[in-house]
Amino acid sequence: IIENQRYNKTFLAQPGANAMKRAGTAHWCNATHLVISDEQHPRNGTFLRASDLNLPFEGEALSDSDPYVIVEEQSGQFGVHTQTEEATLFVDKTVSLASG
């Protein structure tokens, strides 16, 4: 499916409700939300949050108000899932977290 691109990119690339609305679709997916994949990290396997990268957001770290991190499709920069643009579907990056 992946090799032959037989997946619904429009669905998978919408990181949240704001992007879904802009795309004029009725669905969004967390497929673009980045995941911590370091077995030594205490939150290994969980989604990367804005607070992990010192990205601006309002609210408390690691709470529902702390948005998930994505890579913006157009710029290739880190962003948050609440944006209105599509996010990059396939990402392979190593990042340093604010906590070290």
Give the integer Cα–Cα distance in Å for 87 and 70. 6
Residue 99 forms part of a structural domain: no
Percent residues over pLDDT 70 in the chain = 99
- pTM score, two decimals? 0.92
Residue 86 forms part of a structural domain: yes
Residue 98 forms part of a structural domain: no
Give the per-residue pLDDT at 100: 67
Residue 24 forms part of a structural domain: yes
Residue 96 forms part of a structural domain: no
The domain of 30 spans: 1-90
Local structure of 12: helix, strand or coil: helix
Residue 57 forms part of a structural domain: yes
Q: Is 14 left (phi over 0), alpha (psi -120 to 50) or beta?
A: beta
Instruction: Tell me if 16 sits within 8 A of 28, measured CB to CB.
Output: yes
Domain count, the chain: 1
